[in-house]
Amino acid sequence: MIPVHSPASVNTFAAVDEAPGLSAIPSRSQAAPENTWDLSKLFPNDKAWNDGLAAYETMAARIPDFRGSLGTSAESLADYLDFSRDFGLLEERLNYYRDLRQTEDEGDSAARTMSGRFMMAAAKAEAAASWAAPEIQAIPDADMAGFLRNPRLEEYQIYLKKLLRYKSHILSDKEERLLALHAEGEGVAGDAFSVLTNVDMDFGLIDTPEGKRPLSQSTWSVFMEHPDQDLRCRAYNGFYRVFDAHKTTLAALYGGQVKQDVIHARIRGFPSARGAALFPDDVPESVYDNLVSTIGNNLAPLHRYYAVRKRVLGLAELRHYDVYAPIVPKAVKRTTWNEAVDMVTKALAPLGDEYVGTLRSGLLGRWADRYENKGKRSGAFSAGSYTGEPYILMNYKEDSIRDVFTLAHEGGHSMHSWYSAMSNPFMHYGYTIFEAEVASTFNEELLFRYLKNNADTSGLKVYIINKRADDLLATLYRQTMFAEFEQQTHALEERGTPLTVDVLRETYRNLLEKYFGPDMVLEDTSDLEGLRIPHFYRAFYVYKYATGISASLALAERVLSGGEQARADYFTFLKSGGSRFPIASLQVAGVDMSSPTPVEAACKVFSRLVEELEAELTGGTAS
């Protein structure tokens, strides 16, 4: 259960894209201030943060004083929620500041100390407030209906109604306490998986033209993108040889996670583990089924893409280690930060002056921490809070077109956060993960169209088309394959079928054969991929990436072709925050994710990209 003192904001630290390792990189102290973010809207400095933490601990000590009073009157409930709001605002500022400071240099001992102190204080506060949600849910319906008519509770209406949805799934005080005591152990399977695969597994070294290089979870993708097929093959076999040696343990860990998901759902009275996972967002299970079935009916474009890949690479057989090999030369184009901002804002011009002007000002100002430095967290994210700026972490490289797309993506998250915070009370401004990927991938689609239409060389144009096709494949098709695997494994457990290593491998191999199609020759170890995906330890959320990209493609087409009303509808979505559940929020924008239509349209977009790519690379004709 979400603590009452904290809003359900999940739009933080989204959309990570891996960045290269460190080499000859400046220290944090060498970073020019204008290239770093300005955290002063959160706290002016570390001393002010320390003072804020002291105030937070003082406030936390008051939490027990409200116990037993929440159901006595609307005023008493409002008193607590006013306190909870103010406490939550301070908590969020503390949390964002310490985390953003730590990402600047993961080895900074002062920042790590701040994080440790905050986490201890927050855990203590959460325990102190654990009684609040059950106490609110225990208020009789008739009394609560009367309370909600009180003007003092107006800004908490949505928050309370969402909280009360859980009422039928709440147990007795004693049972809830037992579950709370057990909660600490619920992450053991995932933690053990992470330690095993990232720490204990030794993948050895690979001979390369540059000498021996370490094979690891982080270098795996580099080897799979290498143009030398023999090197890819050796890396692939070496990598999965280690997973094969641990397959029984990995199967036991994942099987244990699935069993825990199913047990948790049954304890709470949900019809299935999937139903329990979709409940917080009020997403019908039919939405999930629509996605899986619609993608399953539209695999022909995907299979055509793999046929193109096989032909362009000149392979007699397309193997599993060939699916990431480059088929288009990397476009060499240097783009400075200011030039990237120009590209992104020109691409987003259809969204109007306020959107473009705000984003441009932020990106040229101090929203973003732009470049790599020693110890800085890799990848990219957007961290939009209620009080601070919608900060963006980048590790921007001027020779990477991909980083321009990443900037557009994170800018989409940040502007979504900006509009949500500007348009909603704190207690329900946070939007869901289901919605989070819409605004970001919407921006990517507009940037893709702009760059494709303005490419100054044919090489750049085909590179951009290939990149877009690969991105859609990864988000639309691959995430749906993952979603279908989760659906099948949980259904097997719910029917009483033990999830042995053989059952899991067979289930995953069938999906590999289905999605990769007739041009793929799988290895004996290919199905071990299903035992190495960390997403599976957080069940039933990867489908949101596929629904998100489907919604964003539909909305981009609608906004670009639909005039002022279509744009206004999109901004209504951006401003919704947590005021609506995601299906309703997207319906307001003009896309109905309860229907298979957006997913079908996304498959057609992918199909057109494959046709264009094939025409460019093999002399075929784009139909």
pLDDT tens-digit readout, 603-614:
999 999 999 999
pLDDT at residue 218, rounded to an integer: 77
196-202 mean pLDDT? 89
Range(s) of the domain holding residue 107:
38-183
Specify if 501 maps to a domain: no
What's the total number of domains in the chain?
A: 1
Q: What is the CATH number of the domain that holds 118?
A: 1.20.140.70
pLDDT at residue 289, rounded to an integer: 97
Q: What share of the chain is helix, strand, coil (3-state, %, to 5)?
A: 65, 5, 30
Specify if 221 maps to a domain: no
CA distance 423 to 417: 10
pLDDT at residue 620, rounded to an integer: 56
327-343 mean pLDDT? 91
Specify if 44 maps to a domain: yes
Catalytic residue among 372, 389, 410, 444: 410
Specify if 559 maps to a domain: no
410 is catalytic: yes
299-319 mean pLDDT? 96
CA distance 294 to 548: 15
The neighbour count for residue 487, using CB atoms within 10 Å, is 21
Specify if 50 maps to a domain: yes
Strand locations in 175-329, DSSP E?
Answer: 205-208, 211-214, 318-319
Specify if 509 maps to a domain: no
Mean pLDDT of the chain: 92
Specify if 121 maps to a domain: yes
Flag whether pLDDT at 12 surpasses 70.
Answer: no
pLDDT at residue 171, rounded to an integer: 80
The HSE-up count of residue 30 (CA atoms within 13 Å, CB side) is 10
CA distance 372 to 103: 11
Flag whether pLDDT at 582 surpasses 90.
Answer: yes
pLDDT 10s digits, 471-510: 999 999 999 999 999 999 999 999 999 999 999 999 999 9
Specify if 173 maps to a domain: yes
Please give the C-alpha separations between residue 430 and each of 227, 345, 360, 417, 439, in angstroms, as whole numbers: 43, 25, 23, 8, 14
pLDDT at residue 621, rounded to an integer: 54
pLDDT 10s digits, 446-458: 999 999 999 888 8
